[in-house]
Structure 1
């Protein structure tokens, strides 16, 4: 039997790597230096000190870095300084879905101000939606309406984490 090119290439999946407290940036850098395809979703926030305000980038999800790797190479990740563990589910390494990684990329790359809209929309709470335009274009999430504000909840199912984003209604379409 002839092996195809796809069968010779290792199966790469995304995994969630749990890090020491406030070591996410260093761990991501070290993983990259060791040849791993790593991703650390960041958000820009304004920190207030007694004498000034400053924009700083902090992890979107504390203590987690995402790594794309073959399952057999996961043991090498434990050798990276700052790594505590790799997320497991039922005794096996938990695979993070590509759509969840893509949602995190969209959320971490926005940085643009969002204007609200009073446009009527026929969506029900809990309905699955796609974002059609703007800084969150391509985001796949769940719609909620809370206290007069229109929000989209992005679930990172593998980690059991939710991220809430307020955005204009005219950019949302139900799936």
Structure 2
């Protein structure tokens, strides 16, 4: 079986959720990190899920399958460097997932070291 990797693909403006549906219909594993926001309209509070990274969705495919990903309506391009598409490690993607899943429970801590400031993200103690 061919090794699969995670790749970032750019989507057309505000089409991330539709591209996600199309990728799923094509049987392509993907991840769209979203966050929930609240806003008030007409006196009612509404909730909406929006992408964490605007115009970007992650796909998990063998490199040979990238042309089929690029053929999906709404997919614009791959995140690339001069020699080809950038592979995103499983560890990096798992870290992004964890960050998105626990975003509401993260606490920003600003503790100064002698002569400088350090900002870190910590999960609350249980």
TM-score by length of 2: 0.82
Shift of 1:40: 0.4
Match of 2:27 among 13, 22, 35: 35
Q: Give the match for residue 70 of structure 2.
A: 78
Match of 2:41 among 38, 49, 66: 49
Match of 2:86 among 87, 94, 118: 94
Q: Give the match for residue 24 of structure 1.
A: 16
Please give the alpha-carbon distance, in whole angstroms, between the structure 2 residues aligned to 1:12 and 1:116: 35
**SS of the counterpart of 1:95?**
coil
**SS of the counterpart of 1:96?**
coil
Answer whether contact 1:116 1:167 (CA < 8 A) is retained.
Answer: no
Q: Give the match for residue 59 of structure 1.
A: 51
Spell out the pairing of 1:1-175 with structure 2 (5 A cutoff). 9-110=1-102, 112-113=104-105, 144-145=118-119, 151-152=120-121, 168=124, 170=125
More relative contact order in 1 or in 2 (CA 8 Å, sep 6+)? 2
Answer whether contact 1:10 1:70 (CA < 8 A) is retained.
Answer: yes
Moved over 6 A (4+): none
TM-score by length of 1: 0.61
Shift of 1:15: 0.2
| Bigger radius of gyration | 1
Query: Normalized per residue, which structure has more helix?
Result: 2
Please give the alpha-carbon distance, in whole angstroms, between the structure 1 residues aligned to 2:47 and 2:123: 21
Shift of 1:79: 1.3
Unaligned runs of 5+ in 2: none
Unaligned runs of 5+ in 1: 1-8, 125-143, 146-150, 153-165
Number of matched pairs: 122
Structural RMSD (CA): 2.7
